């Protein structure tokens, strides 16, 4: 299925909380994307707020959506 080497990892800052556990994230390169929490962050109940710095994984197929994998 998905290969972990196919992802692009970037840092960003949460700009807005959206319904359905999704977030608007502004990346380091000033792009704005929609991201959701990874399964392990949901399982461990990691809470995020506006202004938190996060690590986001993007696929090369759709650079407007991503997965939040780490909070700094």
Domain boundaries of the chain, sorted by first residue: 4-71
pLDDT, residue 4, reads 67
Contact yes or no for 33/65 (Cβ under 8 A): yes
Domain 4-71 in this protein, CATH class: mainly beta
User: Can you list the residues of the chain whose pLDDT is less than 70?
Assistant: 1-4
Helix (H, G, I), strand (E, B), or coil: what is residue 72? coil
Residue 13 burial (C-beta neighbours within 10 Å; 0-12, 13-18, 19+): middle
Q: What is the pTM of this model?
A: 0.87
Contact 36, 68 (CB under 8 A): yes
């Amino acid at each position: 299925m998905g290969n972990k080497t196919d992802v692009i990892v970037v840092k960003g800052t949460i700009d807005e909380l959206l319904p359905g556990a999704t977030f608007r994230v502004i990346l380091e390169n000033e792009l704005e994307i929609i991201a959701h929490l990874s399964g392990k962050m949901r399982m461990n109940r990691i809470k995020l707020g506006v202004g938190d710095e996060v690590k986001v994984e993007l696929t090369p197929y759709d650079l407007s959506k991503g997965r939040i994998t780490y909070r700094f």
